[in-house]
Amino acid sequence: MSKFKITTLGQFIIERQNEYPEAQGAFSRLLRDIGIAAKVISREVNRAGLAEILGEAGKENIQGEDVKKLDIIANELMIDCLTRGGECCAIASEEDDDIVQIDSPVSKNANYVVTMDPLDGSSNIDVNVSIGTIFCIYKRVTPIGTPATTEDFFQKGNKMLAGGYVIYGSSTMLVYTTGNGVNGFTLDPSIGEFCLSHPNMKIPKDGKIYSINEGNRLEMPEGIKDYISWCQEADKPTNRPYSARYIGSMVADIHRNLSKGGIFIYPPTAKVPNGKLRLLYECNPISFIIEQAGGKSTTGKERILDIQPNDLHQRVPIFCGSENMVNKALEYLNK
């Protein structure tokens, strides 16, 4: 085989589209549209420091134009690509209070809805640290041709057709699953394509990394405090003490733990009794990927993907990552 042979995201999607015979290419086109948006967002993220799109929305740049924050730009770019692609009838975004209806002429028979966190890790935008985009695709449940409703979005995560994230890191990667394993694609800027670089990603059953905002420790349930202490104890056979790694971009923390093994926790705290992270935009897609890679994801009480959503912006606690590590944390939580 030629050393020049590559598989682009577009080629990979087409090769796999027989996994969705009923979608007849529509679903593939939707994934393609998300890939296009990801490339444009990646370009904007890369030149953010030069382009005066950092900082607070509403302020003026030196040309007297309104500065748009990168998360607003990412939101608009995703909505634009999904609108013009014609396969999505509505979007629920972390950045919008209500669902965004798409009623362009090309999308009147669209059969899919998308949920997204257009820019995850906003606190890291201004300081050149990895950030991401997270997305889910569902088939609508209301009739085609009628306006989508929240009912289309209040589907359990286990109904998701595809979930994925893009990480804007030292390179830009798109990682997604359609329920048949997890595949990762790295953006090759020289040809402007995502190329298959991490086929069939698997998360190790064990790891040495725990990712939690320990600054909130005093506000956490006792079981979690005890679990953190256990992670910090020295015990050679179990590779402890573990390393603490917490970037503050869920996508980046998950991506590292998916590659190396680890646990990511955003627990309930006194201040945020339901945790901070959003079920529809963050926890569901990430949980689908982690489970598909062989890991585990739970609120501490139930599997994330089995939760019946009842609010677009609903938050849930999350324990997510290497299976044995999540089980250990649960043991402490439920003691």
- The footprint of ligand AHG (CB under 6 A) covers 94, 117, 120-122, 213, 248-250, 276
Residue 7 or 213 having the CB closest to ligand AHG: 213
**87 contact choice in ligand AHG, Mn ion, none (CB below 5 to 8 Å, kind-dependent):** none
Are 175 and 160 spatial neighbours (Cβ–Cβ below 8 Å)? no
What is the size of the binding site for Mn ion (CB under 5 A)? 4
Residue 142 or 314 having the CB closest to Mn ion: 314
Four-CA torsion 204, 196, 26, 110, nearest 10 degrees: 70
Helix (H) or strand (E) holding 222: helix 222-232
User: What amino acid is encoded at 16 in this protein?
Assistant: R
Residue 120 lies near Mn ion (rule: CB under 5 A):
yes
**10 contact choice in ligand AHG, Mn ion, none (CB below 5 to 8 Å, kind-dependent):** none
**248 contact choice in Mn ion, ligand AHG, none (CB below 5 to 8 Å, kind-dependent):** ligand AHG
Residue 111 or 115 having the CB closest to ligand AHG: 115
- Which residue has the CB atom at the shortest distance from Mn ion? 120
Q: Which residues of 20-55 are buried (b: 16+ CB within 10 A; e: fewer)?
A: beebeebbbbbbbbbbbbbbebbbbbeebeeebbee
**150 contact choice in ligand AHG, Mn ion, none (CB below 5 to 8 Å, kind-dependent):** none
- What's the closest the beta carbon of residue 186 comes to ligand AHG, in angstroms? 21
Tokens 């359609």, residue located = 178
Residue 253 lies near Mn ion (rule: CB under 5 A):
no
Residue 99 or 131 having the CB closest to ligand AHG: 131
Angle among Cα 308, 97, 275 to the nearest 5 degrees reads 50
Q: Is 271 exposed, middle or buried (0-12, 13-18, 19+ CB in 10 A)?
A: exposed
Residue 152 lies near Mn ion (rule: CB under 5 A):
no
- What's the closest the beta carbon of residue 211 comes to ligand AHG, in angstroms? 8
Four-CA torsion 189, 195, 201, 204, nearest 10 degrees: -30
Q: Is 302 exposed, middle or buried (0-12, 13-18, 19+ CB in 10 A)?
A: exposed
Residue 12 or 266 having the CB closest to Mn ion: 266
In the stretch 71-110, what mask flags binding to Mn ion with x, by CB under 5 A? -----------------------x----------------
Residue 117 lies near Mn ion (rule: CB under 5 A):
yes
> Can you read off the two tokens belonging to residue 19?
């996994």
Residue 86 or 321 having the CB closest to Mn ion: 321
